[in-house]
Amino acid sequence: MLAGQSGPILCVFTTPQRAKEAALSAGILAEGDPLILFAPPLPEALDWAMSFEKYGVTGVTIDYPRIGVWSSLTNLAHLKPSRPLR
């Protein structure tokens, strides 16, 4: 979680390695410690991320600090498929 200008931002990662790099650089994880990941499948992951709005989270950032692009939680709804996935 990061502190953004409009509120807390949830950090999401595209690979376990990027999550580990971020945790090590932030001092959240020590070298050699196990990394515990939570990996909800898409499109359920979008619903999961959007559910954090009730706790004051305002957006998500992807692969922070390597990429660091972000989106507001309300924009995540536009990424959901309009029809069921096969």
CB 35 within 8 A of CB 65: no
pLDDT at 22: 92
pLDDT one-digit tens code per residue, 49-65? 999 999 999 999 999 88
Amino acid (1-letter code) at residue 70: W
pLDDT one-digit tens code per residue, 26-84? 899 999 999 999 899 888 899 999 999 999 999 999 998 888 788 999 898 888 777 66
pLDDT at 42: 83
Alpha carbon 55 to chain centroid, angstroms: 15
- Indicate the burial class of 4 (C-beta count within 10 angstroms; 0-12, 13-18, 19 or more): middle
Q: Which two tokens stand for residue 29?
A: 């994880």
pLDDT at 85: 59
Report pTM: 0.78
